[in-house]
Amino acid sequence: MGINTTEQTEKQRREIFLYIKNYIIKNKLKANDPLPSENTLAKRFGVNRNTVRSALTVLKVQGLIYSKKGKGFFVMERPKQMLFVQDASLGFSEMLDQAEVEYSSTLLSIISRTASKQEQAYLKLKPEDEVYVLKQLREVAGIKLALCYSVIPKDMLPGAEKRISGFSGTNQIFMELYGYEHPVCVKTLIGAQCADSETVRQLEIPDSIPIIRQENIYHLPNGKPIEFFVIKARADLFSIQLNFDKNNNGGTKK
Amino acid sequence: MGINTTEQTEKQRREIFLYIKNYIIKNKLKANDPLPSENTLAKRFGVNRNTVRSALTVLKVQGLIYSKKGKGFFVMERPKQMLFVQDASLGFSEMLDQAEVEYSSTLLSIISRTASKQEQAYLKLKPEDEVYVLKQLREVAGIKLALCYSVIPKDMLPGAEKRISGFSGTNQIFMELYGYEHPVCVKTLIGAQCADSETVRQLEIPDSIPIIRQENIYHLPNGKPIEFFVIKARADLFSIQLNFDKNNNGGTKK
DNA sequence: AAGTGGTCTAGACCACAAC
DNA sequence: TTGTGGTCTAGACCACTTT
């Protein structure tokens, strides 16, 4: 068949797409197992290599496979979803504690700058006030799970740059290093977004994985704002559970 | 330049990609404004139409542009984010009420079937028990915002197929049609996922938009499970806010 | 040297839309 | 009829990996 003859419009690309998906299932391929090469598939289906490539591209943006130049295509690993129970009294680290998973925190950077308008509102700051911004990478069960940003009024942590070490969460800093009471979450905002380039790079994920973005505002028990905490976590691994059983406020319907 | 000569490897596709993004900004294009055609761009950059297409494909999967066969490429509309405050005592419709946005609900289908294992656990059902499954499309401010699934034990709604009309939320059915008390949410699970094909079709969105998935379990005040409610909402429009100010349970740290 | 994926060209045919 | 996007072919060259 030299030139296009018949029903090329209803895509044979889909046929190859489905073949690969079935191939993975039937052969019970696990993560990082190799797939047939582009040329092999092109010959098997009697189509051009470009057509095979367009099918593989779809699988790639869906995060089912990945490729390495000079080597081939491989099955992407799809780890199991983890569930984390959210509570006003728990910080992020403590939530991981409660979930009984092994985790670690790496302090990527700490800078100080003036507060943005949003941060001024959340932390009750004046435009000239400065904040510390701590960027952290959280790994859970050996997997890079989330990028976290802590925004903290600078006057709450005098000399923080030199005092912070052996870091494993800001609540530890607040309580053990500065003697504050346990902060309480007064507001949480949960959304989802596409992975930005920094998140893709730091978490080493394909940009097809959606990101759960959680913003928390923490106060001290006396009402003083102490932290604006942003979590950007891989949504394929991270989900949030909220229980209303206990602190049921009686259903005050408006 | 007949055949590939020099540095083709570091992609001129990116050049076209950036050109289009700048083109939209510089010319202050609004939603649904047309973009230059593939052939126009190919001539302007002196490249093949396929190269232009691969750049446009990237912009399409990112949800910045869309195309219509026979017409051309257009700027995708990027609506503003809406914020919804979550509360144990509020159903989804009531949450929209409280947000003071104009909304509507369309009942897409109602079927009955046996409960899945997950539904059996959530609704305390036996394997042979049947449930109604109501599929709803929620539109907010004229925009298709979310696909919702209500799973309700069949014995809670005798003869539902014939009694349901002028539907605007299951809580209305529970209370006005069947005289139940106002259900209370006892558990919420929030995650994010890529848009599945049905959601893409029903909400008329590109599959690049992430989806917030919220699962709620509702009980009657007497503790009887009445509804398993799943919301699949566009994450570019929908985010969830939780306030812990009021019902602070005192910070019982474990 | 041979094989793999990545990029790009040149050109064909199709379905659809506007004139 | 002309122009648009959608699909596919055939083939070139590149960078990288393995033998």
pLDDT band at A204 (very low <50, low <70, confident <90, very high): confident
User: Which range among A7-11, A152-156, B84-88, B194-198 shows the weakest confidence by mean pLDDT?
Assistant: A7-11
Judge whether residue B5 has pLDDT over 60: no
Nearest chain A alpha carbon to B54: A54
> Which pLDDT score, from 0 to 100, does residue A170 have?
87
Tell me the per-residue pLDDT of A143-180, one tens digit each, with 9 for 90 and over: 889 999 999 999 999 887 777 777 778 888 898 889 89
| 3-state SS, one letter per residue, for chain B | CCCCCCCCCCCCHHHHHHHHHHHHHHCCCCCCCECCCHHHHHHHHCCCHHHHHHHHHHHHHCCCEEEECCCEEEECCCCCCEEEEECCCCCHHHHHHHCCCCEEEEEEEEEEEECCHHHHHHHCCCCCCEEEEEEEEEEECCEEEEEEEEEEEHHHCCCHHHHCCCCCCHHHHHHHHCCCCCCEEEEEEEEEECCCHHHHHHHCCCCCCCEEEEEEEEECCCCCEEEEEEEEEECCCEEEEEECCCCCCCCCCC
B191 vs A238: CB contact, 8 Å cut-off? yes
A235 vs B190: CB contact, 8 Å cut-off? no
Tell me the per-residue pLDDT of B88-129, one tens digit each, with 9 for 90 and over: 667 777 787 777 777 888 889 889 999 999 999 999 999 999
Q: Which residue is nearest to nucleotide C16 (CA to C1')?
A: B70
> Which pLDDT score, from 0 to 100, does residue A245 have?
59
State the average pLDDT over residues A36-63: 91
User: Chain B contact for A78, CB < 8 A?
Assistant: no
Q: Which of A188, A191, A247 sits opposite B242 (nearest CB)?
A: A188
Tell me the per-residue pLDDT of B19-36, one tens digit each, with 9 for 90 and over: 998 899 889 898 889 999
> Which pLDDT score, from 0 to 100, does residue A3 have?
34
> Which pLDDT score, from 0 to 100, does residue A252 have?
32
Whole-model pTM: value is: 0.76
> Which pLDDT score, from 0 to 100, does residue A47 have?
92
Tell me the per-residue pLDDT of B124-148, one tens digit each, with 9 for 90 and over: 999 999 999 999 999 887 788 999 9
CA of B42 to C1' of C11 (A): 14
> Which pLDDT score, from 0 to 100, does residue A88 have?
66
> Which pLDDT score, from 0 to 100, does residue A160 have?
79
Based on the number of CB atoms within 10 Å of its own CB, is A95 exposed (0-12), middle (13-18) or buried (19 or more)? Answer: middle
- Contact residues on chain A for B186, CB-CB shorter than 8 A: 243-245
> Which pLDDT score, from 0 to 100, does residue B119 have?
95
Judge whether residue A73 has pLDDT over 70: yes
Judge whether residue A212 has pLDDT over 50: yes
Angle at A53 between CA A48 and CA A56, to 5 degrees: 135
> Which pLDDT score, from 0 to 100, does residue B95 have?
80
Residue A25 Cβ under 7 A from any strand D atom: no
CA of A4 to C1' of C12 (A): 7
pLDDT band at B249 (very low <50, low <70, confident <90, very high): very low
> Which pLDDT score, from 0 to 100, does residue B103 have?
82
Residue B69 Cβ under 7 A from any strand C atom: yes
Q: Give me chain A's average pLDDT, please.
A: 84
B88 vs A211: CB contact, 8 Å cut-off? no
Q: Which of B211, B221, B247 sits opposite A249 (nearest CB)?
A: B247
User: Which range among A6-10, A31-35, B242-246 shows the weakest confidence by mean pLDDT?
Assistant: A6-10
pLDDT band at A48 (very low <50, low <70, confident <90, very high): very high
Tell me the per-residue pLDDT of B223-233, one tens digit each, with 9 for 90 and over: 899 999 999 99
pLDDT band at B245 (very low <50, low <70, confident <90, very high): low
Residue B2 Cβ under 7 A from any strand C atom: yes
Q: Which of B98, B187, B221 sits opposite A254 (nearest CB)?
A: B98
CA of B238 to C1' of C6 (A): 38
User: Chain A contact for B184, CB < 8 A?
Assistant: yes
pLDDT band at B68 (very low <50, low <70, confident <90, very high): very high
User: Chain B contact for A36, CB < 8 A?
Assistant: no
In the block, which residue shows the tokens 């409660």? A98
> Which pLDDT score, from 0 to 100, does residue B88 have?
66
User: Chain A contact for B186, CB < 8 A?
Assistant: yes
Q: Which residue is nearest to nucleotide C14 (CA to C1')?
A: A9
User: Chain A contact for B69, CB < 8 A?
Assistant: no
Residue B5 Cβ under 7 A from any strand C atom: no
Interface of B with A in 46-65 (CB under 8 A): 61-62
User: Which range among A57-66, A107-116, B158-167, B197-206 shows the weakest confidence by mean pLDDT?
Assistant: B158-167
Judge whether residue A249 has pLDDT over 60: no
Tell which wins on pLDDT, A250 or A119.
A119
- Contact residues on chain B for A192, CB-CB shorter than 8 A: 192, 210-212, 235, 239
Nearest chain A alpha carbon to B83: A189
User: CA of B115 to nearest chain A CA: how many angstroms apart?
Assistant: 22
Judge whether residue B175 has pLDDT over 80: yes
A89 vs B250: CB contact, 8 Å cut-off? yes
B240 vs A191: CB contact, 8 Å cut-off? yes
Q: Which residue is nearest to nucleotide D17 (CA to C1')?
A: A70
Tell me the per-residue pLDDT of B31-62, one tens digit each, with 9 for 90 and over: 889 999 999 999 999 999 999 999 998 888 87
- Contact residues on chain B for A188, CB-CB shorter than 8 A: 241-242, 244
> Which pLDDT score, from 0 to 100, does residue A99 have?
73
Nearest to A214 by CA among A237, A199, A232: A232
